[in-house]
Amino acid sequence: MKRTDMSFVPYIFLMFVSVLDGLILNPEEGGQTDTSFLQQLLFEEKQLRMNLEQKVQDLNSRVASLEHHTCESTCEAKQKSVAFMAQLSASIVNPVEGHVIVFDDIITNEGAAYNNVHGIFTAPVNGTYEFSLIVSSPPNPSSYHEFHLFLMRNNVQIGYVFLDHNTQFWLRRITTATVHLKQTDEVWVQVAWVKGDHEIGGCCFHSLFGGFLIHAD
């Protein structure tokens, strides 16, 4: 920064030297070449340089203040790293409608915004967040079943997955949501509706809930 700001100084000096050269080498053309005239020029140059130095100083302090201001928002967001991912340690069999799925096994929980006792993520800051829900269910040949899950924000649905009719194979379903949250807003996964026997697979990364702060306001 300083190098750029001061880069014009050598040019001013060169211009000044050229003027002096002209006066010294061509005394007849220049007319007045006495010491007092040169002293006057030097004095004026010194004034000019002092003015410029003052201006550069002012500009430097303004840039520093701008840099500090910019950092206030971005640096704060950097400090608040918020990211989580948790899986089910064990399968949940026949959860009822409204049941909150508690992804108990934490893999990542930077910022500790996810609570693995209640299964609820609480936004630590206003900002834009990304969430993902991945669920699997094992086959159940003996039973017709439907199994829908909602991704919720403060009692309002922001995503869903369904695991219906899997009588022969494992199913694995995914949804994501990009949402703006206010500080203290909550996000969780709950059972939307069910029919027959149903199960959400635990262990081994069958079922995961995760999310992160994209950027704070």
Among residues 95 and 111, whose Cβ is nearest to ligand NAG? 111
Query: Which residue in the shown chain puts its C-beta closest to ligand NAG?
Result: 126
Q: How far is the CB of 177 from ligand NAG (least distance, A)?
A: 19
Q: Where in 91-150 is the site for ligand NAG (CB under 6 A)? A: 126
Residues for the chain: how many in total? Answer: 217
In the complex with ligand NAG, which residue's Cβ is closer, 28 or 72? 72
Smaller CB separation from ligand NAG, 5 or 186: 186
DSSP 21-72: HHHHH-HHHH----HHHHHHHHHHHHHHHHHHHHHHHHHHHHHHHHHHHHHH
Q: Closer to ligand NAG at the Cβ: 26 or 154? A: 154
Tell the smallest beta-carbon distance from residue 15 to ligand NAG (Å): 52
Say if residues 178 and 215 touch (Cβ distance below 8 Å).
no
> What does the angle CA 90 – CA 158 – CA 75 come to, to the nearest 5 degrees?
90
Examine residue 73 and tell whether it contacts ligand NAG (CB under 6 A).
no
User: What burial class does residue 122 get, using C-beta atoms within 10 Å of its C-beta: 0-12 exposed, 13-18 middle, 19+ buried?
Assistant: middle
Minimum CB separation of residue 111 from ligand NAG in Å reads 15
Q: How many CB atoms lie within 10 A of CB 170?
A: 12
Among 46, 55, 182, 195, binds ligand NAG (CB under 6 A): 182
Q: Who contacts 159 (Cβ-Cβ below 8 Å, separation ≥6)?
A: 131, 133, 150, 151, 175, 176, 177
User: 178 or 183: whose CB is closer to ligand NAG?
Assistant: 183
Of 74, 183, 204, 215, the one binding ligand NAG (CB under 6 A) is 183
Identity of the amino acid at 46: K
Which residues make up the interface to ligand NAG (CB under 6 A)?
Answer: 126, 182-183, 217
